[in-house]
Structures are given as C-alpha cells and as structure tokens.
Structure 1
Amino acid sequence: MRRFVTALSGLACATIALAGPAAAYEIDPLTRQPLSDVLTVRVRAQPVPTANAALPAADPLQQSPAAAVPQATAIGRETVPYSGPHAPGTIVVSTAERRLYLVLPGGEAMRYGVGVGRPGFTWGGTQTVTMKREWPDWRPPAEMLRRRPDLPRYMKGGIENPLGSRAMYLGNTIYRIHGSNEPETIGTAVSSGCIRMTNEDVADLYTRVKVGTRVIVQR
C-alpha cells in the first residue's frame, strides 16, 4: 500500500511518495505533532499542473466560494486594526501568535493563520521577498539530503507538493512563505522554519505583495 508523507528538513519542507508502514515518532507535548522529519498527510486525487502554470479550471482556488474545498482550519483571514510601526505593504510574522500580518493603509492589517517552525527550528529577522512562484518545484537543500539521503533530488510543483499553490522566497535563504497540503497544521509549530499557509490564504497574499516586499519575522 502506497502512502504520501511530508519530509521536513532543518530548513525546508516537501512531499514525496514512499512505500512501507508508518513509523512511530516522538510527539511534541505542546503541539501534539511528531518531532521527526516525516509527517503523514492527506492527498487529493487531482491532476498535477505544470510548475509556474496558471491555475487549472478544476482547481478549488479557481472555483466559486460555494464550490471551493473548505479550509481544514478554524483560522480565517480577517482585517484587523493595526497601530504598529511598520509601513503599509510590510509583512510581519509573529511566531508566538502563529499569525502573519500584511500591513494595510489606514491603520489596518490583513491577518492570516500560519504554521511556523517547531522547537529548534524557529528564527527571526528581516528579509525581503526576492522571488515569487506559482506551483513551485522543490529541490531539497543539502542540509536535508545529509539527513535524508533517500529523498528525491527534485519534485515537480503540483497539488501534492507541500510548497502548495504559491511560494514567496525570502532573501538568499531557503526559507519561504508557502502554501501547504497539510491545512490541519496551520496554527501549529511543526515546520522546519518555513512559514506555512493554506493554499487559499497564500494565493490571496500572493496577489497583494510584490518582489521587494519587506518581511519581518518575530520570535
């Protein structure tokens, strides 16, 4: 029996197909998530679009709200008051809150639920969006390959890829703000440093930001 799993490195996330039974892993007492490089995920049987291609007509991101696949998370995006010091257009990620704020004009911000790095993989600082990609491909970094030499060197973008429907690359790092095929992990600390969003939310954010956008990650 084949099953899909998500491989998490110290710096990036990805999905691969592996055979064999599920293994047992230590559970984080706070997040109730596995403290391992592998997480079980659900996979929707849909055609895999080519990387950087337009969203297929059958994709839930293109459908009407009534027909769209609902987000498997209670964290909905919403406009909230904002009185912080950052200029409109700035992205502020609060690791502690597990929320991402896009500062808007007029003293407001768009707030999204996100998944953040698990213990030992959190980080903070200021970066900029240096690249944006639709249905991004995934190439595991050297750090991951050292830990998981069994992983493929390349995975084509698509609905089964945990980078999701959109990715915004941060500086010269391999951290990204990206979609996820594990919407149930939004609001938790289970990633390896990347900022996860639902595919619906990351598509919304993607349309609002440009290359050069300032990103502030707060611990």
Structure 2
Amino acid sequence: MILDWRRGSAPARGGAASHGRLDRRSFLAGSAMGLGTLALGGCKTSDSTSLAEAASLYGPLPQEKFPIPAVDIAKVDPKYYRKTVAYETKEAPGTIIVDPKNYYVYRVEDGGAATRYGANVGRDGFLWSGDAYVGRKSEWAVWTPPKEMIKRQPEAAKYARGMPGGLDNPLGARTLHLYQNGAYTLYTIYATSDPETIGSGITSGCVGLLSQDMIHLYARTPVKTKVVVLPA
C-alpha cells in the first residue's frame, strides 16, 4: 500500500499550519499511494435528508483540539450524506465495508442495516480490494510523506520529519490505519475537510470521509475491526 500521503503517522498531532504550506488537495492529487447520528429505526430511513438534518449532521465541532468548521453542504451531493440504509451482508455488525465503485463506506449494524457515509477513494491505477483490519487509530496524527512522494513532489520535502496535526494535515482529525497480517499497509481511512472531493477518485488507495463522518465512524470502531474493500 503506497499512499504517498500517509506513512509513519504518529498517534498525536499538534501545531498550526503556516503560510507556504502545501495544500491538502495537492497532497491528495500527488499521492502515490460524531455528531448528528441518524437513529436506526428498523432497517432504513428515507432516501432524502433535509437541509436542516444535513446542517445538523455537518455542523461545526468547536470542542475539537483544532476546531472543525461546518461543512459547506452545497458542495456535497445529498446522496453522500450520512444515513442509515438497508444493507444485506454476511459480515458481522461493526465491520466496515468500502464500496469504491459507488463512493460509499458502510458500517454494518444489526438487523440488516448499515450506516452509510459518502467517501473519496483511490484514483484510476490505485484502486485495490481485499480484506484488512484496523491495526491502529490516531487523532490529529502527524503525517510524514514517503520518499517516493518527495521525489515526485519536492515541495513536500519540508515535511520529511513530519507535518504536525491540524486542519491542513492530510490525515485530518481522525485516522484508521489499515493492516494486513500484522503489517501496516500504508492505506488509511481518514478525515477530509474538502467536501468537493466526496464522490471522486483522488487518492492512491486511501479512503476519505468528511471530518464529521470520520469522527462518527472512529468513535464506533475499535482496533481489530475488520475492513472489507470491494472490487471497483
């Protein structure tokens, strides 16, 4: 798993961004690589989410170490809003299923349901599929660009010793680090503050959720949780 934008992330991050920093989206494009829950009322909810509901789901999170602003929901297709949907699977409740073809991440719930989140996924040439598990969790993690990325994007060299956590850090507020057979794959499920990326393929195989959605998923995902990435 070659992520170009996340290797060696440490569990703690801290620090603010400064002028001249690399833009989050430039990391995503160049990589080789909480709150407002919808209740489970039977198997599914309505296919539509009102603007008021969306505003509640994606409002600001001022209590965070680095306060997270509200999502500009006008930049997100409503089909990618977090919601509970009917979802038949043989996987156990708690399992995370990534559907890169449709830009969704599911957390399997009881009773034939799942919490569904809109996502960004790997771009052409960097999609992958298979089983993994959450080997480590990080809040506001430090991001260190791999040597391969620094070679392609010399401007990333200034973060060779790590970019402190913050709103402009590519890993965002929460990160689930994916492992296989005891080894870190370099792939993650991470938090993004770029709503326009949801529903697109832009990474080297990592999966991004809106910060509010990622915090919601993170709180419900223990280490060792199974992750299934479907074929694209």
| TM-score normalized with structure 1 length | 0.72
Structure 2 runs not aligned, ≥5 long: 7-16, 22-27, 32-62
Comparing 99-108 with 70-79, greater Cα deviation is found at: 70-79
Tell me the residue number matched to 1:108. Answer: 113
Q: Distance in 2 between matches of 1:217 and 1:109?
A: 15
Tell me the residue number matched to 1:25. Answer: none
Tell me the residue number matched to 1:174. Answer: 186
Give 1:70 deviation, angstroms.
Answer: 4.0
Q: Structure 1 pair 157/212, CA: closer, same or farther in 2 (3 Å)? A: same
Q: Map of 1:4-19 to 2, 5 A cutoff?
A: 11-13=3-5, 18=20
Q: Distance in 2 between matches of 1:13 and 1:198?
A: 17
Q: Distance in 1 between matches of 2:123 and 2:30?
A: 11
**Cα deviation 1:2-36 (Å, max 9, x = unaligned):** xxxxxxx95133799648xxxxxxxxxxxxxxx95
Q: Map of 1:1-219 to 2, 5 A cutoff?
A: 11-13=3-5, 18=20, 37=30, 55-56=64-65, 59-60=67-68, 68-71=70-73, 72-74=75-77, 75-151=80-156, 152-153=159-160, 154-171=162-179, 172-219=184-231
Letter in 2 for 1:169: H
The number of residues matched between the two structures is 176
Structure 1 runs not aligned, ≥5 long: 1-8, 20-34, 39-53, 62-67
Q: Distance in 2 between matches of 1:190 and 1:148?
A: 16
Question: Are the equivalent residues in 2 in contact too, given 1:10–1:144 (CA < 8 A)?
Answer: no
Q: Structure 1 pair 87/191, CA: closer, same or farther in 2 (3 Å)? A: same
| TM-score normalized with structure 2 length | 0.68
Question: Are the equivalent residues in 1 in contact too, given 2:189–2:206 (CA < 8 A)?
Answer: yes
Question: Are the equivalent residues in 2 in contact too, given 1:102–1:110 (CA < 8 A)?
Answer: yes
Question: Are the equivalent residues in 2 in contact too, given 1:162–1:182 (CA < 8 A)?
Answer: no
Task: Name the Cα RMSD after superposition.
Answer: 2.8
Give the fraction of aligned pairs with identical amino acids, expressed as a percent.
39
More helix by share: 2
State the structure with bigger RCO (CA 8 A, min sep 6), 1 or 2: 2
DSSP-derived class of the 1:150 partner? helix
**Cα deviation 1:163-198 (Å, max 9, x = unaligned):** 111000000111100001322101101112110111
Question: Are the equivalent residues in 2 in contact too, given 1:81–1:108 (CA < 8 A)?
Answer: yes
Q: Structure 1 pair 59/80, CA: closer, same or farther in 2 (3 Å)? A: same
Question: Are the equivalent residues in 1 in contact too, given 2:30–2:149 (CA < 8 A)?
Answer: no
**Cα deviation 1:68-115 (Å, max 9, x = unaligned):** 444441220110112111111100001111100100011110000000
DSSP-derived class of the 2:214 partner? helix
